């Protein structure tokens, strides 16, 4: 059985290091994980005024999550928290009331920054949000990636064997987490 993983890149930057990280993660992931990006780029800003009739971009977002067995968040840290574009996407997905797309979904969080905190504070913020959204988060291992340009090629190739093995281990644990959650709570 293959698990479908929908992944979010929390950056809109054309030179995003987190997009590079997402490629590196996919490259070392177990073979029975299949990945598709869930784009956050074209979503309008969320308002409850849309709840009666979601626009196509937001319907597409919710359909993409519904088609996923699990979600992976690969995010930068902005001002010690979650980038607004990503928070906006989560707000869309969590609504309308009673139709929260993240309910019980297996989820994992990771991120890269040039600094040594490696998005730790953004991840804490994101974990609190996902907790409220009732996602089943992988709590360990944590992964705070200090992005070294020398180590990562744009296509996601990782030069350092140590980093590559760390990311491989992270994705192997995520696969186990997905299986454990879905055994108890199958996606309908």
Interacting residues with ligand FNR (CB under 6 A): 11, 13, 16-18, 76-80, 113-115, 117
Nearer to ligand FNR, 13 or 134 (CB): 13
Nearer to ligand FNR, 3 or 170 (CB): 170
Q: Distance from CA of residue 177 to its chain's centroid?
A: 14
DSSP per residue over 106-119, as a string? EEEEEEEESSTTTT
Range list of β-strands (E), the chain: 3-9, 33-37, 70-74, 106-113, 136-137, 144-146
Smallest separation, CB 16 to ligand FNR (Å): 3
Smallest separation, CB 151 to ligand FNR (Å): 14
Smallest separation, CB 121 to ligand FNR (Å): 7
Nearer to ligand FNR, 3 or 73 (CB): 73
Nearer to ligand FNR, 13 or 36 (CB): 13
Smallest separation, CB 124 to ligand FNR (Å): 12
Q: 151 burial class (0-12, 13-18, 19+ CB within 10 angstroms)?
A: middle
Lookup: tokens for 48: 């409850």
Smallest separation, CB 17 to ligand FNR (Å): 4
Nearer to ligand FNR, 94 or 123 (CB): 123
Distance CA 73, CA 126 (A): 9
Nearer to ligand FNR, 23 or 95 (CB): 23
Smallest separation, CB 153 to ligand FNR (Å): 15
Contact (Cβ atoms closer than 8 angstroms) between residue 103 and residue 134 = yes
Distance CA 117, CA 97 (A): 35
Residue 14: phi and psi, rounded to 5, are: -70, -15
């Amino acid at each position: 059985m293959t698990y479908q993983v929908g992944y979010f890149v929390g950056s809109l930057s054309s030179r995003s290091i987190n997009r590079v990280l997402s490629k590196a993660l996919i490259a070392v992931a177990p073979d029975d994980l299949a990945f598709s990006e869930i784009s956050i780029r074209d979503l309008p800003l969320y308002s409850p005024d849309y709840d009666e009739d979601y626009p196509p971009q937001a319907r597409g977002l919710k359909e993409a999550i519904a088609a996923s067995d699990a979600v992976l968040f690969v995010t930068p840290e902005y001002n010690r928290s979650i980038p607004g574009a990503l928070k906006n996407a989560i707000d869309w997905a969590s609504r309308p009331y009673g139709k929260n797309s993240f309910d019980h979904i297996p989820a994992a969080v990771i991120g890269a920054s040039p600094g040594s905190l490696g998005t730790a504070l953004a991840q804490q913020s994101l974990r609190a949000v996902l907790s409220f959204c009732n996602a089943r988060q992988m709590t360990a291992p944590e992964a705070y990636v200090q992005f070294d340009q020398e180590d990562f090629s744009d296509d996601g190739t990782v030069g350092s064997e140590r980093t590559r093995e760390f990311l491989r281990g992270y994705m192997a644990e995520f696969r186990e987490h997905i299986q454990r959650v879905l055994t108890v709570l199958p996606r309908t």
